[in-house]
Amino acid sequence: MIYFILNYLNKIKTFPYFFLTPLVYVIGNSCEEIKLAESYVSKKKKKLIILHPYSLTFFLKYRICNKSLFKDLNYYKETNFEKILKSLLNFLLDKEFVIRRIFIIFLKKFTKKNLSRYNFPIIGIEQIFGTKKDITDHRKELIEYEKIKKFFVKENNFDLNYQKNKYCEEKLKKFNLPYERLVLVHVRDDQYRKDQGRKDYRNSDINSYIESIKFLINKGYFVIRAGRKPMNKIFFKDKNFLDYSTLDLQEDVLDLFLMKKAKFFIGTQSGILDLAQLFNKPILLTNMIAIFSKYPFKKNDRGIFRSMKKNNEFLHIKDFIKLNYEYHNLWTHEINDLIFYENTAEQIYDSLNEFLDIQQNPILTKDQKKFNEFILSEHKLHYSNNPNRLFTDYDSLKIARLVKNNEGCLTNINLKNLNFN
């Protein structure tokens, strides 16, 4: 009942609040949904209230990706009334979730039907992403690609409250961190979800980044390796390098604090990338395997795509982009006839130099503009030919809108290595 009421209130134009329930167990989805929702409500002149289930995580077989993301993130100053309202609604939502979740777990024993959409509340999600109604006309036919609008995205002011900031500073005091010169590096490896030998193309070797880390240290930066235990060992030590992923003091709130303080972020296409986006950090994406989603988003973001083989022959980046849609949804669909090769240490180093050089004046070159135009034209064909084979209704529209939002690009060095011209 509370699900229905909150979704109904969200549709009332004059109602002053907008309720959102991010996908609580996935850090990437949660950050993306919060960022887009904040932009959405600012345009609608409403206040965002984030709600989430929290009870019986072990018994109900789910986890909260980062409790501080839902509890400690500041996006406006709440009144006492708003604090009480949020607590009450969160309590009611949680209790309805528990009942629904128990029922779904019970039903799964008797049916093979996919019940995932009923598992977790999706309040506010369809409003910010759009639904099938937004991509079909009155005849139920797909609307023209050109009529799909990109997201309204503004730079937000997300922060932690004063007490949490002070707590984090005290917790990290012994490391004497120079907060004005921090760089965060995160590389997804095969220790994540214990997926060794499964979807290896999503994982990379942190040791390929050592030369780039040394370069940053020589430039006066302090480098922190982000992530959670267990992670593969990095064979590097320096007084200006901290492997946070191995520390016992790790906390959810520290994850947010360090990203908020970072000057920029270097990483792979994993969930923490969206945390960097949430805090408006310049991003150098490495070892990319997806071109339509999690692409360099802002003008000063850059990326490095992997080289690849198909049928024992190197695959041109243009030919990869033209492959069927299933090749562009590698998060959930495992592809066995493509071989991805990790970026070399030299490729990462060279692209890092280019990334740093364009920060003050992030203008795309002629080749980069041409490449982005090619991506857009090819995505139009994917959308028109097969919009919903692999994506849910709002995902299909979401990806189309995000592709139109993208303002960054692959580095010029990477485009040259991939033989794009």
Omega of the bond leading into 230 within 30 degrees of 0 (cis): yes
Asked whether residue 241 falls in the same domain as residue 306, the answer is yes
Examine residue 373 and state whether it is found in any structural domain, yes or no: yes
**∠ CA(297), CA(298), CA(300), 5° rounding?**
125
The percent of residues above 90 in pLDDT, for the chain, comes to: 64
| Secondary structure element (H or E) that encloses residue 280, with its range | none
Let me know whether 205 and 253 are in one domain. Answer: yes
Q: What is the total residue count of the chain?
A: 421
Please, what is the Cα angle at 402 between 54 and 407, to 5 degrees? 125
Check pLDDT > 60 for residue 12: yes
Total domain count, the chain: 2
CATH of the domain at 394: 3.40.50.2000
Q: Does residue 272 lie in a domain region?
A: yes
Q: Please report which confidence band the pLDDT of residue 135 belongs to, taking 50, 70 and 90 as the band edges.
A: low
| Structural domain includes residue 141 | no
CB under 8 Å to 329, separation ≥6 — which residues?
390, 391
Tell me the pLDDT band of 138, cut-offs 50, 70 and 90. Answer: very low
Is residue 229, in this structure, part of any structural domain at all? Answer: yes
* Domain boundary pick from 112, 129, 146: 129
In whole angstroms, give the CA distance from residue 337 to residue 327.
10
Q: Looking at the structure, do residues 117 and 174 belong to the same domain, yes or no?
A: no
Separation of alpha carbons 71 and 50, rounded Å: 9
Q: How many helices (H) and strands (E) does the chain have?
A: 14, 14
- Domain extent, residue 396, equals 161-417
Query: What's at 381, amino acid-wise?
Result: L
Q: Beta-strand (E) ranges in 147-226?
A: 159-160, 182-186, 222-225
| CA distance readout (Å), 49 to 138, 250, 282, 289 | 33, 27, 27, 34
**Tokens at 415, concatenated:** 């485009």
Domain boundary among 85, 112, 129: 129
109 and 241 fall within a common domain: no
* Beta-strand relationship, 182-186 and 264-267: parallel
Give domain status of residue 176, yes or no: yes
pLDDT at position 61? 86
Q: Are residues 342 and 249 in the same domain?
A: yes
Query: 112 and 260 in one domain?
Result: no
Which of 110, 129, 148 delimits the end of a domain?
A: 129
List 182's β-bridge partners, or say none.
Answer: 222
Mean residue pLDDT across the chain: 88
**Coil, strand or helix at 359:** coil
Q: Is the pLDDT of residue 306 over 60?
A: yes
Pick the range with the lowest mean pLDDT from 10-19, 187-196, 248-257, 299-308. Answer: 187-196
Q: What pLDDT was estimated at residue 144?
A: 77
- Look at 11-20, 188-197, 282-291 and tell me which has the smallest mean pLDDT: 188-197
176 φ/ψ sector (left φ>0, alpha ψ -120 to 50, else beta): left
Q: In angstroms, rounded to a whole number, what is the distance separating the alpha carbons of residues 295 and 354?
A: 17
Same domain, 239 and 95: no
Give the strand pairing for 241-243 and 302-305.
unpaired
Q: What is the pLDDT of residue 337?
A: 82
Same domain, yes or no: 221 and 353: yes
Q: Which range scores top for mean pLDDT: 111-120, 124-133, 392-401?
A: 124-133
| pLDDT tier, 107 (very low <50, low <70, confident <90, very high otherwise) | confident
